[in-house]
Amino acid sequence: MKKDVKRSKKSAVKVVTFLLCLSLLTGCSGNSSEKKGDNDTNVTATEAPADKDNGDTGKDDGNESDPSNDQKTDNKDNNESQNGTGDITKQPDEGTVKEGDKDTGNKSGDGDTASDIQVPEAVSFRKLEVEYKNKDTATAYVPGDCTAIVFSDDNVAVNGQDVEISKENGRQIVKITKKGDYLISGSCSNGQIIVEANKEKDVRLILNGITLSCADSAPIYEQQCDKMVITLADGSENVLSSTSEYIYNDVEKKQPDSVIFAKDDLVINGNGSLTVDTAYTEGIHSTDSVKLMSGNIAVNSGDNGVRGKEAVIIKDAKLDIKSRGDGIKTTYSDNTSLGYIIIEGGNVKVYSAKDGVQATGHIQITGGVLDITTDNGVAHADSEDSKSAKGIKSDHNIYINGASVTVNSTEDAINNNENLIIDGGSLTLTAMDDAIRTNGHVVINDGTVTMQNVKEGIDSYSVTVSGGNVTINAEDDGIKAQAGSNNSDEKVIFGDANPFSDASSAYIAVTGGSLNITSEGDYLDSDGNLYITGGKVTLTGVKAKEDGAVSYKGKAYVSAGSIEAEGAGDISAKISG
C-alpha cells in the first residue's frame, strides 16, 4: 500500500481559486463572469441525461447562464461539501448508517434492514453546450465573390480590393484590412498573411492549395478582427511552416508564437487538408478560442500543438498532433467559465512530450476517437514544468460519455483536481503511474473502462461504481480512497478551504456494474467507509484471498451484490466493520 502523502506530490498542475471551480457542477454556488465574444453563439450549461449528446460549447458571446441559478443549495449540516461544491456530495448524517453484525457480514446494522443503508450521493456534471452558427460550419464559397491571392517567391498577385502588398527583408507580405472571403493559393518560401480588419467584422481565408513558409514569424498572423475562419477548400492540400526562431512583434508577450496565430477567435473547417509544421514554436494558437470543426489537420510542433487561451473545441475534425510541448491546451485561469476543452467528435491523435490534453477549466469528451501517447523522455520545448507528461489533465472537472479514449502515458493517464464522471464510452488506460488520480470524486455510471499495466488503478477522495464494466490490473492498490491534497505541484489549489481534506469521509461504493481487479497491493483500500450495495466485485491474483485484500479505516456496509475472491469465493461475510 502506498503512503497517504503520495498524492500531495503528484496532483495535477495549474491551479485556480476553488471558490469558483465547480460552477458547472450540480449544486454549485459559484459565480460565473461575462466576457466579450462572438455575438452569435449562446453558451449554456445544462444537466443532460447520460445517453444524450447535446452538442458542444464555446464562449462566443459571453452569455453564459449561471448554473447556480437553477440549483438548490442546502448548507444546513457540515456533512455536505462546502466552499464551491454546494450539495453535490452528501455524506450520510452521523448515526444514520450503523455498524452491523461483523460475524455475518451484513452491515446494515443493529437490526436495520439493507434499505436503511445510505450510500453517499454521487456527484454529477452539467454538460456544456453551444449552438454553432453558420459562420462556424459554412465551407461553400463562390470564387467570383472572393478576393483571389496567389503567392510566389517573386511577387503576390491579387484580384480584388482591401489588400495591401509589401515586401520586407525578402518577405512577401499580404495585409487584409476588410471583412470578406479571400481565396489563397500558390507557393512562397518566405511569405506572410496579416489580418488587421475591423474588430467587429469576420475574415475568412479559403486555402486552396497554398504552400507558405515564413522565416521568423507566423505565416498567418491575425492581429484584429471579430473572428478569423480558415476554410480548407475541397480536396486541397495546404502546408504552412516556419523555418527558424521567431522575431517577436510583441517582445513582452513573445507574440506571435505559432504558425497560425490569432488574437481573436479562430475557426478551421472544410474538406481539404492542412499541415502545420515547425520545429521552433507552437502549431496553432489563439488568445481567444480555437474551434476545429472539420478537415484533415496535421500539426508537427516544437512546442504546444494546439492552444486556445479560453477554449479549444473539436467537432468533427481529423487531428494528428506530434508536439514537444502539450498536445492540446488551454490557459485561461480567472474563473471556470472558460479554459475548457470540448471533444465531441472526429478522430484525434496526440503524441506529446508533455501533457496530451491539458485544461485550466473543465474537459468534456462526448464523442469521437481520442488516442493519446505521452513520453516525457522526449526532449521538451523548455525546462519549465518538464516533469508533467500526463494523458488527460484538468485543473477542474472531467466528463466522458460516448467516446473511444485510449491513453498510454509515462505518468498518470487521467489526472484532475476535482471530479471525474464517466457516463459511457470505452476507455483503455495504460500508465507508468496511476490510471486515474483526482483530488475529488470518481463516478463511473456506464461504459467499459480498462486500466492495464498501471501502478495504481484509481486514487481519489471517493470512488463510486454504479454501472458499466471496470477492469483494473495494477501493480499496487486497485482502488484507493483517501484525502485529497491542497497542493498541486507545490501550488495551493483550494485556498484555505479544501473540501476533500477529511480522510474519514473518503469512501468506496459499488452499487452496480462489474468491477474486476488484479493487484499486487490492496484491492480496495478506503481511508473511510466501504459500501457494497449492488453489482459484482471480482478480485483476482495470489493476494485476493489474503486478509487485508479489502481494507478500510471506517466501516464496511454490504447489503447486496457480491465480492468474489480468487481461491476464496464470496468473501462478503468476512469483511468486518
Q: Under DSSP, is residue 504 helix (H, G, I), strand (E, B) or coil?
A: helix
120 preceded by cis ω (within 30°)? no
pLDDT at residue 560, as a whole number: 83
Q: What is d(CA 123, CA 129) in angstroms, rounded to the nearest whole number?
A: 19
Residues in the chain, total: 577
Helices (H), ranges, 359-424: none
- CB burial of residue 70 (10 Å; 0-12, 13-18, 19+): exposed
Query: Cell 457480491 appears where?
Result: 562
Q: What is d(CA 320, CA 300) in angstroms, rounded to the nearest whole number?
A: 8
Count of alpha carbons within 13 angstroms of residue 156, beta-carbon side: 28
Tens of pLDDT, residues 555-570: 999 888 888 988 778 8
Residue ranges, the chain, pLDDT below 70: 1-117, 377-387, 484-501, 503, 547, 576-577
Alpha carbon distances (Å) from 94 to 73, 98, 105, 118, 440: 20, 9, 21, 11, 21
Asked if 19 and 84 touch (Cβ cutoff 8 Å), the reply is yes
Tens of pLDDT, residues 501-530: 576 789 999 999 999 999 988 899 999 999
pLDDT at residue 207, as a whole number: 98
Global confidence as pTM: 0.80
pLDDT at residue 445, as a whole number: 97
**Distant-in-sequence, close-in-space partners of 434: CB < 8 Å, separation ≥ 6:** 412, 413, 415, 454, 455, 456, 457, 458, 459
pLDDT at residue 284, as a whole number: 98
Q: What is d(CA 523, CA 520) in angstroms, rounded to the nearest whole number?
A: 8
**Which residue from 44, 42, 49, 54 is spatially nearest to 23, judged by alpha carbons?**
44
pLDDT at residue 413, as a whole number: 97
